[in-house]
Chain A
């Protein structure tokens, strides 16, 4: 690599390097890396310590300061390549940051991560964006709030591309606070119900064994395992693509989450979703799935799940989330037996169905009628609010839940 392309700190006199690092840190911050002013100072001190003749030294120096999790590497790498290779970009970024006009061009050879692309305006939109930036700056805070409100009510299917992006961002932050279950494990706790003799004796040494202080322990609670089964057939496409972001957030939020996608066949995507960067994770998922937006064979897939995975994923009081519209190509064959088995093997089975958003929804299709008798809860999942409500119900058992389920079952019968 010639140092020709690596202009910023070569062409700019010494005082500018610190400034450049600051802009670079800003770029990373807007791409989602948690970088505070402290690390900018650290970075500048660190860069001062090294010989600035090698490009790779500089790279790894900044990397050591700015990156603190493996999954941030990719964003950092792309940001570094763009920022420190293309001085024009730097000018532009500065101009954007300072809200002055810019006419320069940016040539991007490689495709960049969507997350980075979102914050790097391309030329066509640059001036436009600058205009809006200048005119809207004052109302920004207010606008986002109300936008958020509207967005939460909006059906996923009716969203524009931009709104979907916005919704995905909100979804990434949604978690599912499952009601914690008692385990057989204890941890020391000052208001525990059992004596912790081990801790008592250890503490007594502090006083030379003269007296033994009382120590207690209490039962340890943790959320139960969660299994997500998501339908990716044609009728569900819009929803499942959105919900994948939600599933990704769930999988990375805690341990003991297993996720599966099914259309005509069943795919376990748990490991793929463990990649923290959502763009990379979803890319690998789409590559692994062969039956996107095809037909659905719910009965067949559930049976396969029961045989291959149920016993491996659903021990210890698990909660199962079934995300499907219940519209089945095989007209409901095999669903009943498979659902019965599934329901028997978990603590709680929750069915999320986007069709429920229609007021006139009636459980007529055979698939839906086969599933309904075996679910503990039946809810809609068509907008952000319905997802938040879901989190709410999972946290406690609502008394009216049973009644509404009874109602549904009667209608399905």
Chain B
């Protein structure tokens, strides 16, 4: 079991061992969240590496990752706990057969006991034990769940406890590391954000993106990587409906290496555009002459920077 980092630099290094190149602001937020044991709320465009942070933390800290994928209508029964109804009914019948007199409180105690609970991710995360380190709880794409569920999370996030009406409150003795992500398809309520450290995960700058590519798509040639990154950076500054994220950059680099491409040319850009842009309007806008123009700019830029070096 790896120890939690003790400073921001250590956090950066920790992420790096998991092949995650973070910028300092993110590492700071993460460090605060880990050391003060407060959830980390990550918001940002799709494909900037929000979910990845939880995965990397889990592997580099060697902790269990408990993931709760949110969706509309997510309720307590599928997020927190559910009673095992079949066993409960069986228990009632068994009691009926065996004992002579039963009273209601006795029955309540027997059929609503912990054995009959089916754990769902949130309850599982609250029940960390002495032996194993507290898990990492990833609440993914919270914006997809509806507001009632968000309200339910408030208790869990501020006090690390779950209340089951029939059993009472289960308080976590070893609170999990909580990471919440959101794509902003709607605004998450302030009350929830208040209980977390908030960080907006932005697109990386060119040098960091190049570092990311060298780790994540290591078999792409350095020339190709540089071209890919500069091209993508140019696309992001342009007027697109959905700018490509880091995940798209990595995908694109993989796609290009798969096609044995060592350097960008306009025909291959057109052919692989689908790895980078996901809206037809955007593809139409860039494909063809616009892509060629961007490529010229990229080449010019890279050659001047190469000369300086």
Interface residues of A (CB under 8 A from B): 183-186, 197-198, 201-202, 204-206, 208-210, 212, 225, 255-256, 306-307, 311-313, 315-316, 337, 341
Contact = CB atoms under 8 A, between A and B. Distances in A.
Contacts of B148: 185
A199 to B, nearest CB: 11
Contact of A315 (B83, B92, B186): B186
A201 B89 CA distance: 8
Interface of B: 71-73, 75, 77, 83, 85, 88-89, 92, 95-96, 102-104, 107-108, 111, 143, 146-148, 166, 183-187, 241, 281
Contact of A313 (B72, B92, B102, B186): B186
A197 B104 contact: no
Contacts of A341: 241, 281
A277 B193 CA distance: 26
Given A311-B185, A312-B185, A316-B72, A185 B107 contact: no
A209 B72 contact: no
A198 B83 contact: yes
Given A184-B73, A209-B92, A201 B241 contact: no
B89 A212 contact: yes
Given A197-B85, A201-B111, A208 B103 contact: yes
A197 B116 CA distance: 14
Given A198-B83, A205-B107, A306-B241, A311 B88 contact: no
A204 B102 CA distance: 13
Nearest to B149: A185
A212 B93 CA distance: 11
B73 A204 contact: no
Contact of B96 (A186, A197, A209, A255): A209
Contacts of A197: 85
Contacts of A186: 75
Nearest to B72: A184
Nearest to A222: B146
A256 B143 CA distance: 13
Given A212-B89, A312-B186, A337-B281, A183 B96 contact: no
Contacts of A202: 166
A324 B225 CA distance: 48
Contacts of B73: 183-185
Contacts of A316: 72, 146, 186
Contacts of B75: 185-186
Which 9 A/B pairs are nearest by Cβ-Cβ distance? A184-B73, A315-B185, A209-B92, A197-B85, A312-B184, A185-B73, A209-B107, A184-B72, A208-B104
Contact of A205 (B85, B104, B146, B184): B104
B107 A208 contact: yes
